[in-house]
Structure 1
Amino acid sequence: MRTTYIYRAILLLVLCLEASYGQVDPPIFIGDQRELFVDRFLIENLESARLKMHPPIDEGQVFYFDKPWEGAFSAYVTIIHDGEVFRAYYRGVPTAGKDGNEAEVTCYAESRDGIEWHKPSLGIHEVNGVRDTNVILANAAPITHNFSPFLDKNPHAKGSEKFKALGGTSQSGLVAFVSSDGLNWKKLKEEPVFTQGVFDSQNVAFWSEKEKMYVCYFRTWTEGGYKGFRSVSRTTSKDFVHWTDPEPMGFGDKPYEHLYTQQTSPYFRAPHIYLAIGARFMPNRKVVSDEEAALLNVNPKYYNDCSDVVLMSSRGGSGYDREFMESFIRPGVGLQNWVSRSNYPALNVVQTGAHELSIYVNQDYAQPTAHLRRYSLRLDGFASLSAGYEGGEMLTKSFIFKGESLELNFSTSAAGEVRIELTDVEGNALPGFSLEDAQPLIGNEISRKVYWNGSSDVSALAGRPIKMRILLKDADLYAFRFQ
């Protein structure tokens, strides 16, 4: 066994040396992590197959922003799944005003399943003479304009700092807060921890398991300042206090669009992939007429633009992948969905069922009916490798895995199927793992092992560079993982 590992290590070294001379791409180490089809990171060739985005299903209203200190201009929601509790944090402000005004508070709601929510009377902060409120931060302007917390996954995080948050505007810089219970918060330090940004929307941070550091994505503008595009930059930190100089996020060869929020966070089933489910803002794209706005009772300043939800991804570094330029969640039926600053997604995707994920979206902004709405999709179901009835296939780049079996998240029609072939780096079928040896997969499964000649054991191939050929007929493959 020791000789086998030494041979594989030497082989990998040779391949990497060849790659350095431009002869071959080095193999990608994927280990046993789950891979999604939100980008082309592992794809070498597609033939009659494509990457297909899957818009979530509208599951209806979750709760209205109906407390006196909440109101029509509530926004910037964060959802955190913490053990048996789902926590929602959001800005409450009943009237339009300047960013960071004293009326802005941070509100809290709670759920046991992510579906039915309630607003507890916490008694932490008094607002307008009322003590029994769901407010967890008040009298802290401009921090409460966009206070955005996260559950710190850093294995070295103190128990008293289980939750962390950033908030603030260009006036204050980003100020860091910490909490042991997610309800009672204190400043980590009086001075802002980061000041090199605009910050006039939700600025999000998290501990990256992949990069082993804190990462923050925040609002900036492209060249031209306010005459350019609302965009995104990122900064990193080892201690949540000292941050690197900002790096503008690129979009490859895709055009700039106004991104009002980006909501970048690690996908919990594949934390090496950051999903950014953000708000695309279309300034001066007016859909609602003055007469229609009056009937909807929309604030006069908030119906000259429209917005929808887009899906982006990143694997770290200063670039997003925008494989899909189309809308991930389109505005719903009815003119109330086409006003300014509506359709802004909450931060984080959470699991709300055995096979279900939920995404939450802020809707009916600047209207008496302002509320949070829930959308659902299957686990890993953001996008898929897809082919129609005539069939198609994909060949991966060379990669190295660890594990003993291969599992797929897939669906087919009754007439469809998925078959997997494992090949060498030249694309030649490996003995015992050819298409002829592969058992067709038919059905709709979140996790199904792949078999060749009655066996799922692939451990003999672990640690060596291989490729994978995937054949599909009327089927979608959402994710795969070696285990």
Structure 2
Amino acid sequence: MNLDYALLDIGAEPQGFVDDRAIADSIGLTRRVRQLERVSDQPQLVSAEPWEGEQVVPIAVVHDDDRGVWRMWYSTYAMNVERRPDIGTHWAMHLAVSDDGLNWRRDDVNVLKADGLPSNNLCVDEQGEPIEGPVTVFDEPHDPDPTKRYKLINYRPNYYLSYSEDGVHWRRAQEDPVWSNGAGDGLEETHFFMRDPKLGKYRAYMRVWMRHQTMRTISLGESDDLLSWSGPKIIWTAHDYYGVGSQIYGMTVFYDGGLYWGLPWMFYGDEPLDPNLRQNMRYKLAWSEDGVAWHALKPEMDVLPMGDPKQFDAYMVFSPGQVVQLADKNVVYYSGTNNRHDGSTDGICGVGIATVRRGGFVSLEAGADEAHMITHRTLIRGDHLTINARTESDGYIDVELLDDRGQYLKGLRFDVADRFTGDDTQHKLAWNGQHDLTSLRGQNVMLRFKMRNAELFTYGVGGDAATINAPLGPRPISAGRCPKTPVIDGQLNDDCWLDFDHCGVADQFKQYEQNVNAEVQTRVLMTYDDTHLYMAVHCDEPQIEKLSGDVIDGELSERTLDNDMIEIRLSGPDQGTFFNQLMVTPAGQLSHCWFSVDEGGSKILDKIEWEAKTSKVPGHWIAEIGVPFKVLGVEPVKPGDTWQTNIIRHRHVDGDETTSWSCLFGSVHRNELSGALVFK
């Protein structure tokens, strides 16, 4: 079992199993790659009107909440313009509607008027002409300008942008193209545009020719506003493992389960030995962490199984429209045909629909024998954990949590885990009916699974956006310059400790093993001048009479670690894993250590070159500390400097108790869990 793998900081993204990065160890599990599943063997929409030509291509499907219906924009193409009465174009864009997203009817908008042309569902530009060329449509209902709710990019050649308020009547955003031929590695008519939900920008995956117009590749361009574009730059070419004569004709891309998924349209020319592949276009499956560097997944597999030659989508499938993402599944609306690319066969073309579970292309599968898996350390930024999983009727999944040292976490063991059965893409894990893990926020945990007759697709950290995105650890200590140097006497009656405008505060100390407020609290104030850092430590102590802190001739007792103590860790901006350890007991004992993870431990300094005084009063004890910057090995600070710091309290009046300003989650020497000290 490898527990030294890098920490997984997945935020709110699901963690899947397309590779082994999340798996520390497993036994009895099989990785399974799933295919798309057709909704029907029959097309959901086919060319049915004289003006629709031979080819039907879905370019956008959205649910219109205002109208309460699904809307599909689709393009049609006629090889012979004369077959399109009174339109006179090869391309045209149409609109269809549906109550369920499955059964479609043409939306009789009837805005294109021409002699001999019956009522129709054609969309038009500002001149009342059909929308021509390969097209992409975006529905953005939250655009502050309602006349720009719908956005359209079409290739004429060059790419032009248009806006619409109703999705039927379109007007150019500007006369000039937004993306011109000659840009980057070259523009082409075959494209796939998307709004990237992770980056918040638009991306275009474009076909680009190479080798004197004999080899198709995929390139990428990006834009923040659809008006200005970078690239495109070639990012992917078909590998030999796709077979002889393979070329990437285009690619459908969507973001799901923490990864970008690609459905490359793999085109085969006349080279393949298998005659069934010649002049075909098939979906393959690929994945990427950034949408730029792509990895083939099971390249020998067609992710949409090709059907019988008589089936409408037997020879070519492709989808320039964005994938529709529902709560439990991804829906691909695609154009399928049993025509070959070179036109050597004569068949039909229609709109097909295929689906895959959300996060569901890859799973870990357990059979009749119980299987086990433990994940690598995963940072908890939210307040609960989820799994995307399904079981057979006699199957189950149990989960327990371990800390980042592999130790069991109390109350989160198998014996109290709520067993999962059934099928759920967002199941909250619970133990004894409780799923709230707020106390673990900021901790690294490992999930241990045991499962039988079950599939696990992803696991993840849940919580609202405010919780997930909130900084881990405590609020930074903001220390200002003190107006007058304090007298280090343990009394805390100096002006600098009475004026909170310049004092940085560290309070709300946490328990040792979980991010929960300690029952007995500690409060620390910090300030500075040209030469020193000053600290005032106030320790609540309801059992003040039991305080320990032995002094032998002014030196540290051998039993120091058994004493009550405040430990202050300080690491300057250029000190890496090195930090100073300053320790003060209630009796006034002082200790100064240097600790470095890189150097493998600590060194106790023989000479104490800083001062501290302590005092006791009913209910609490106090330490007042002054440390020269030079003793800490740093230059005098200036406003804006930031250090790493943590303050740890060791309390022994009632057993052994450790608390800290920034939670240590049960591990003493964790400098990376420190908080920030900011000088203002």
- Scaled to the shorter chain, the TM-score interval is 0.7 to 0.9
In the other structure, the counterpart of 1:262 is 251
TM-score (norm 2): 0.57
Pairing 1:206–2:191 present: no
Pairing 1:390–2:369 present: yes
Q: CA separation of 1:59/1:463 partners in 2, compared to 1, >3 Å: closer, same or farther?
A: same
Q: CA separation of 1:127/1:409 partners in 2, compared to 1, >3 Å: closer, same or farther?
A: farther
Please give the alpha-carbon distance, in whole angstroms, between the structure 1 residues aligned to 2:116 and 2:311: 33
In the other structure, the counterpart of 2:222 is 236
Q: CA separation of 1:247/1:286 partners in 2, compared to 1, >3 Å: closer, same or farther?
A: same
Give the drift of 1:199: 4.6
Q: CA separation of 1:465/1:250 partners in 2, compared to 1, >3 Å: closer, same or farther?
A: farther
In the other structure, the counterpart of 2:309 is 334
Give the drift of 1:227: 3.1
Pairing 1:191–2:179 present: no
Please give the alpha-carbon distance, in whole angstroms, between the structure 2 residues aligned to 1:127 and 1:247: 43
Please give the alpha-carbon distance, in whole angstroms, between the structure 1 residues aligned to 2:328 and 2:306: 25
Higher alpha-carbon Rg: 2
Residues 136 and 183 of structure 1 are in contact (CA less than 8 Å); yes or no, is this contact kept in structure 2?
yes
Q: CA separation of 1:192/1:238 partners in 2, compared to 1, >3 Å: closer, same or farther?
A: same
Q: CA separation of 1:288/1:125 partners in 2, compared to 1, >3 Å: closer, same or farther?
A: farther
Unmatched 5+ stretches in structure 1: 1-22, 290-302
The C-alpha deviation readout for 1:406-448, integer Å capped at 9, x for no partner, is 2323211233221223233344443333344433322223443
Please give the alpha-carbon distance, in whole angstroms, between the structure 2 residues aligned to 1:338 and 1:261: 17
The C-alpha deviation readout for 1:350-378, integer Å capped at 9, x for no partner, is 367x8555322322254453211223444
Give the drift of 1:117: 0.7
Please give the alpha-carbon distance, in whole angstroms, between the structure 1 residues aligned to 2:103 and 2:25: 44
Please give the alpha-carbon distance, in whole angstroms, between the structure 2 residues aligned to 1:249 and 1:142: 34
Give the drift of 1:305: 1.1
In the other structure, the counterpart of 2:121 is 134
Relative contact order: is structure 1 or structure 2 higher (C-alpha 8 Å, sep ≥ 6)? 1
In the other structure, the counterpart of 2:46 is 64
Q: CA separation of 1:28/1:248 partners in 2, compared to 1, >3 Å: closer, same or farther?
A: farther
- Equivalent residue for 1:88, pick from 72, 82, 91: 72
Please give the alpha-carbon distance, in whole angstroms, between the structure 1 residues aligned to 2:240 and 2:442: 36
Q: Which amino acid aligns with 2:305?
A: R
Please give the alpha-carbon distance, in whole angstroms, between the structure 1 residues aligned to 2:284 and 2:115: 38
Give the drift of 1:308: 2.0
In the other structure, the counterpart of 1:362 is 335
Q: CA separation of 1:407/1:160 partners in 2, compared to 1, >3 Å: closer, same or farther?
A: same
The within-5 A match list for 1:226-305 is 226-228=213-215, 230-250=216-236, 255=241, 257-267=246-256, 273-284=259-270, 285=272, 304-305=278-279
Please give the alpha-carbon distance, in whole angstroms, between the structure 2 residues aligned to 1:128 and 1:310: 45
In the other structure, the counterpart of 1:124 is 111
Equivalent position SS for 1:69:
helix
The C-alpha deviation readout for 1:431-468, integer Å capped at 9, x for no partner, is 33334443332222344322224422222112222233
Q: CA separation of 1:38/1:75 partners in 2, compared to 1, >3 Å: closer, same or farther?
A: farther
Please give the alpha-carbon distance, in whole angstroms, between the structure 2 residues aligned to 1:198 and 1:85: 38
In the other structure, the counterpart of 1:146 is 134
- Equivalent residue for 2:434, pick from 450, 455, 468: 455
Please report the RMSD computed on the Cα atoms of aligned residues, expressed in angstroms.
Answer: 3.6
Please give the alpha-carbon distance, in whole angstroms, between the structure 2 residues aligned to 1:141 and 1:216: 26
Residues 136 and 320 of structure 2 are in contact (CA less than 8 Å); yes or no, is this contact kept in structure 1?
no
In the other structure, the counterpart of 2:612 is none
Give the drift of 1:43: 4.5
TM-score (norm 1): 0.77
Residues 35 and 304 of structure 2 are in contact (CA less than 8 Å); yes or no, is this contact kept in structure 1?
yes
Residues 177 and 187 of structure 1 are in contact (CA less than 8 Å); yes or no, is this contact kept in structure 2?
yes
Larger mean CA deviation between 130-139 and 51-60 belongs to 130-139
Q: Which amino acid aligns with 1:110?
A: V
The C-alpha deviation readout for 1:181-232, integer Å capped at 9, x for no partner, is 22222222222222335554542333333213222222224x535333x222
Please give the alpha-carbon distance, in whole angstroms, between the structure 1 residues aligned to 2:275 and 2:130: 31
Q: Percent identity?
A: 21
Please give the alpha-carbon distance, in whole angstroms, between the structure 1 residues aligned to 2:435 and 2:288: 31
Q: Which amino acid aligns with 1:77?
A: I
Larger mean CA deviation between 115-124 and 143-152 belongs to 143-152
Please give the alpha-carbon distance, in whole angstroms, between the structure 2 residues aligned to 1:398 and 1:142: 56
Give the drift of 1:160: 2.0
In the other structure, the counterpart of 1:319 is 293
Please give the alpha-carbon distance, in whole angstroms, between the structure 1 residues aligned to 2:237 and 2:428: 35
- Equivalent residue for 1:74, pick from 56, 59, 65: 56
Residues 196 and 255 of structure 2 are in contact (CA less than 8 Å); yes or no, is this contact kept in structure 1?
yes
Q: Which amino acid aligns with 1:192?
A: P
Equivalent position SS for 2:213:
helix
Q: CA separation of 1:395/1:126 partners in 2, compared to 1, >3 Å: closer, same or farther?
A: farther
